Structure 1
Amino acid sequence: MEKVIEFKNVSKTYPDGTQGLKHVNLSIEKGEFVVIVGLSGAGKSTLLRSINRLNEITEGEIVIKGNSITKAKGKQLLRMRRDIGMIFQNFNLVKRSSVLKNVLSGRVGYHSTLRTILGLWPKPDVALALSALDRVNIKEKAYSRADELSGGQQQRVSIARALAQEATIILADEPVASLDPVTTVQVLDDLQHVNQELGITTVVNLHSVDLAKKYATRIIGIRAGEVVFDGPVDEAVDKTFDQIYQRSGKEQGAEASGL
C-alpha cells in the first residue's frame, strides 16, 4: 500500500515547555480511516494539525506522499495543503455567505486571489461544488445562508468544501463534539462514505470509544504526547482503552460514551 502520511521522530514542544508530541513515528496508508483517541490534552489535535502545519513541529519530519511538508515553502507548501482538506469542530464557515460560496472557498487554491475575491468562479467549479453538496445530501441548501443551517448541516458543508477542494486527505478535528447523537452518526456516516467511495484517506480525532470502534479501520491511541496504541479495530480491546485513557474499571462506561 502507498504511504500517504509519515511521521518521522516528530516532537512538539510548546513555548511554556509542555511537550505536545514525543518522538512520534507512524505512517498512514492510502484509503485508511484512522481515528485518533485519547484524553483531552493528550496530543490528539497537536498530532492532527501538524499534518498540514497548522501546528509547527519542533523536531523530526512529516512527509506527505513522499514530499516533506515540514521543509516545504511558498508555492510547494500551498500545493501540498491544497491536497489536504480540514474539518473543524466549529465548522469554520463564513456564516453570512451562502452555502455554495462556502463550498467554493475550497477552490481558492486553484485560482488567482483577484478571481476569488471577485467571486468569478468557473462553471466547472460551481458544478463541482453542487456535486459535493449533493454527495452529503444538502444540495437543496446551496443558496441558503450558512448561519441558517443546523450544526449538523453546517458540518456537512465543511465536508462538501473538502470534496470541492479535491483533497485526497481529509483531517477532522473533533468534528462531532458539538453535535447531538443522531446528527453525529449522520456526519460520521458521510465521512465514512467519502472514505470508502472516493478512497480519500481520512484521519479523525474522536473522544468516543464506541464511535472509534464503529467507524475506524485503524485506531491510534495517544497518551501524554506518545503513541501508546496503533492497530486495527479488532485489536483494540477494553484493556487497550484502559491503557490509553489511564482509567479504572469504574470509568470505562463514561469513556465509552465519550464523557
Structure 2
Amino acid sequence: MIEFKNVTKVYPNGTVGLKNINVKIEDGEFIVIVGLSGAGKSTFLRCINRLHDITEGEIFIDGKSITAASGKELREFRRNIGMIFQNFNLVTRSTVLRNVLSGRVGYHSTIRTLFGAFPKEDLELAMKALDRVNIKEKAYSRADELSGGQQQRVSIARALAQEAKIILADEPVASLDPITTIQVMEDLKKINREFHITTVVNLHHIDLTRKYAEHILGFRAGELVFDGPIEAATDEVFAEIYGRPIGKDEMIGEGEDYE
C-alpha cells in the first residue's frame, strides 16, 4: 500500500506542487491520475519514489516511510518501483536487451553492471519481459531503430525485469498515436492483472481514463479534489477537476480509434 499523510510539496521558486495530500493506494490497484497540466499529477507520482523530496508530511510504502529512508534503504525502496516516462528514457544507442537489463542494476554491484556482466538468470528474465510485451524479436536491435510504441514497450519490459512491485507511468502515451496508445495501455493493464503490480498512471484523456481506470485521483492546482471509483467520475466530476466542461482536448478520439 502507498499512503500519503499530510503531504505538501513547495518548489524552490515558491510554486506549490502539492497541498496537504492525504490518500491511500491499495496493493494491486490500477489508479489513473487526471488533471490539467500543472495540476500536480507528475509531482505526486515523482514524490512516491523520491525523485522529488516533499516539503511536509510523510509517504509510506507497505507501512514503511520512504520519506525518512536514505542510503541502502532508499535504494531498496526504489528497486521495487518501476518508472515509465513520456519520453521513454532509453539509451537509444544501446540494444533493446541492454535497456531492459538496466532494470536489474539495483540487484548488483556497480562494477558488475558497468561491464554488463549480468548473470544468465537476468538475461532469461529480460527476454521473458520482452516476450510479455510482444517485442522479443527486437532484443538485439538498437533502441533508436524502434517506433515510439515499441520503445515504450521496452520501458514496460524494463520495469518487469526489475521485478517491480509498483509501476509509476508519467503520461506514458502522450507522444503516441491513438492505436499505439491503446496497445501500450492494454500492456499496462494486462501486467497489472497478471502480476498484481500496483500501477499508477498519469493520463490526460478522459475517454482513456474511463476505459482503463478502476479508481481515479483528480488534481487541481496541487489539491486532491476527487478520490473515488471510476463509476463515480461523472462528466460533472471531471468538469470540477478540470475547472471547466470537458472539451475535445481531453478526448483521444472517437471509438473507432481505440476499440
Q: What corresponds to 1:139 in structure 2?
A: 136
Identity in percent: 71
Match 1:252 to one of 247, 254, 259: 247
Write out aligned runs for 1:84-103 (5 A).
84-103=81-100
Distance 1:136 1:66 in 2: 32
Q: Letter of the 2:22 partner, please give it.
A: N
Q: What corresponds to 1:81 in structure 2?
A: 78
How much does 1:252 deviate? 3.1
Match 1:48 to one of 45, 51, 55: 45
Answer yes or no: is the 8 Å Cα contact 1:7–1:27 preserved in 2.
yes
How much does 1:199 deviate? 0.4
Distance 1:96 1:192 in 2: 29
Match 2:176 to one of 176, 179, 186: 179
Answer yes or no: is the 8 Å Cα contact 2:225–2:241 preserved in 1.
yes
Distance 1:100 1:199 in 2: 24
Q: What corresponds to 1:28 in structure 2?
A: 25
- 1:39-69 alpha-carbon deviations (Å, 9 max, x no partner): 0000000000000011111000000111100
Q: What corresponds to 1:130 in structure 2?
A: 127
How much does 1:254 deviate? 3.3
Q: What corresponds to 2:148 in structure 1?
A: 151
Answer yes or no: is the 8 Å Cα contact 1:242–1:252 preserved in 2.
no
Distance 1:205 1:149 in 2: 24
Distance 2:252 2:212 in 1: 15
Equivalent position SS for 1:85 = strand
Q: Name the count of aligned residue pairs.
A: 253
Write out aligned runs for 1:203-242 (5 A).
203-242=200-239
Distance 1:185 1:22 in 2: 32
Q: What corresponds to 2:16 in structure 1?
A: 19
Q: What corresponds to 1:37 in structure 2?
A: 34
Gaps spanning 5+ residues in structure 1: where? Answer: none
How much does 1:256 deviate? 3.1
How much does 1:16 deviate? 1.2
Q: What corresponds to 2:257 in structure 1?
A: none
How much does 1:15 deviate? 1.1
Answer yes or no: is the 8 Å Cα contact 2:178–2:252 preserved in 1.
no
Q: Letter of the 1:256 partner, please give it.
A: M
Q: What corresponds to 2:157 in structure 1?
A: 160
Q: Letter of the 1:19 partner, please give it.
A: V
Q: Letter of the 1:75 partner, please give it.
A: K
RMSD of aligned C-alpha atoms? 0.9
Equivalent position SS for 1:25 = strand
- Is 1:121 the counterpart of 2:118? The answer is yes
Q: Letter of the 1:170 partner, please give it.
A: I
Answer yes or no: is the 8 Å Cα contact 2:171–2:202 preserved in 1.
yes
Distance 2:238 2:78 in 1: 32
Gaps spanning 5+ residues in structure 2: where? Answer: 254-259
Answer yes or no: is the 8 Å Cα contact 1:218–1:231 preserved in 2.
yes
Equivalent position SS for 1:213 = helix
Equivalent position SS for 1:229 = strand
How much does 1:125 deviate? 0.3
